Amino acid sequence: MFKYYSLSLFTVACMLIAGCNSSEVAGTNAVAQEDTQETAAPNIILFVADDLGWSDVSYQGSEIQTPELDRLAAGGARFDRFYAQPLCSPTRGAIMTGRSPVRTGVLKPFEPWYEEGLPLNEKILPQYFKEEGYDTYAIGKWHLGPNHVSYHPQNRGFDYFYGSVNGFFNHYTHAVWRGVDWQRNGETVIEEGYSTELIADDVIRIIQSQDENTPLLLYVAMQAPHTPLQAPEAAIAEYAHIEDETRRVFAAMVSEMDRQIARVMTALDDSSMADNTLVMFISDNGGNENLGANNGEYRGGKTSPLEGGIHVPALMYWPGQIAAGTEYADLFAVEDILPTFLGVAGVDQEYPLPIDGVNKWPAISQGIEVEDNESILVKWSDAGADYDYAYFKDDWKMVQLMVDGTKQHSLFSILEDPYEQNDLAAEFPEVVTDLVNRFEAIPKGKVAGLGSPPPPTITGLGGPGSIEADFRPLEIPPYTETMRTD
């Protein structure tokens, strides 16, 4: 399943005792890890792109140029089957908890008028790492509860937060429907600049000022290339050959994000932390092809549990720990991030609530087979007031879609049929029944946002599906002045 592996000293010793060679254990390009008496706790940086499709990076053959992501993918592990949730907030909630959205109730995006957020009884990613002595930072888009400060990152285990609590905003004015949503630890920041660049500026400042004796967890959630489609004119000009204006600006946003990640990586390389830092990059869901994205040959897009909505680009990079050119072919779901990061840090953790993720670090770094997990990619179907979801088990993928209020099921042998062309539900009804029953048996969390229609003052301009940015005069107070603290 893997092209390259890194061998632990234990594995090397076993090879010597057994008299076998490296190719019999883990391929011909194994990299032995250095024997150290005491290894400092590793730093971890997670980049999350917003609405980036499978075919929107150049290492997947895109016309969009992403040389830095290409370099990281070539120098580390490239994930062939990374699955995010089909929407923004559900993916972010799964990153933070290691739990399926069906358990937490985070099945929809947290809109600007929602009162609740990611449930406060959930122990989340930074809290685990704070217990291990880490400094924890959240930069960029939060989108896990906008209107009450108790849900905000600086009150949930992050030492520091800079960015937006909502899911979309004007990339230059940082406003959501005429109110500025740009803050640093609860204090509004009024500043000029393109959001992608400002996020990178802050990350670089953190890296340059970090105490080398204190490990860091750095969560960097980009707003790009989410609508509204905005990019620097110079970046747009690079894609003058793309006739479709929507795709042209989208491409510029992706390239600009890649440039800013390159700036961060340069700062990391110039620091004392470079050799002891794991970097991961993912997209939060598949792209919306009506808004400039490209999911390749996969069916569906953002919001859909079909492959185009959930099968996204992802990579890990850590020279010396992950062999260059690794291709991780097994399923890696977004719920696996939390236990995998804890595995990277060497933390043997007991979880206060059942998690769905599995620590995949032994497989990525050493080629050791790990337990496979049953993964659920799910969203709430407003039209049918029920779930649209995909359930993965072994080589099967079962999809439930609500169509005119009726549950419709499809079944795919996903390894043989990655583009979902051959529905096997009629041929294997017992498999469909089994997977439906497994889903139904999962304890369900209260769905956040039910019964929360938008206020009449909200318009489509500047909203999450609006290509055009909202440049109307700012007429409401900044979000930090309207957030509830009671």
Helix (H) or strand (E) holding 467: none
Instruction: Determine contact, residues 161/154, Cβ cutoff 8 Å.
Output: yes
User: Would you call 281 exposed, middle or buried from its count of C-beta atoms within 10 A (0-12, 13-18, 19+)?
Assistant: buried
Annotated catalytic residue, options 88, 148, 152, 226: 88
**What's the Cα-to-Cα distance from 198 to each of 35, 137, 194, 220, 471, rounded to whole Å?**
40, 15, 6, 12, 19
Question: Is residue 256 within 8 Å of residue 224, measured between CB atoms?
Answer: yes
Residue 152 falls in the annotated catalytic set: no
Catalytic residue among 20, 143, 152, 311: 143
Secondary structure class of 56 (helix, strand, coil): coil
Tell me whether strands 187-188 and 183-184 are parallel, antiparallel or unpaired.
Answer: antiparallel
Closest CA to 260 of 68, 90, 431, 451: 68
Distance CA(181)–CA(176), nearest Å, equals 6
- Is the separation of the CB atoms in 390 and 399 below 8 Å? yes
d(CA 414, CA 442): 23
H/E element, 138 = strand 135-141
* b/e per residue 362-381 (b: at least 16 CB within 10 A): ebbbbbeebeebbbbbbbbb
Candidates 283, 278, 324; CA nearest to 2 is 324
143 in active site: yes
Residues designated as active site: 88, 143
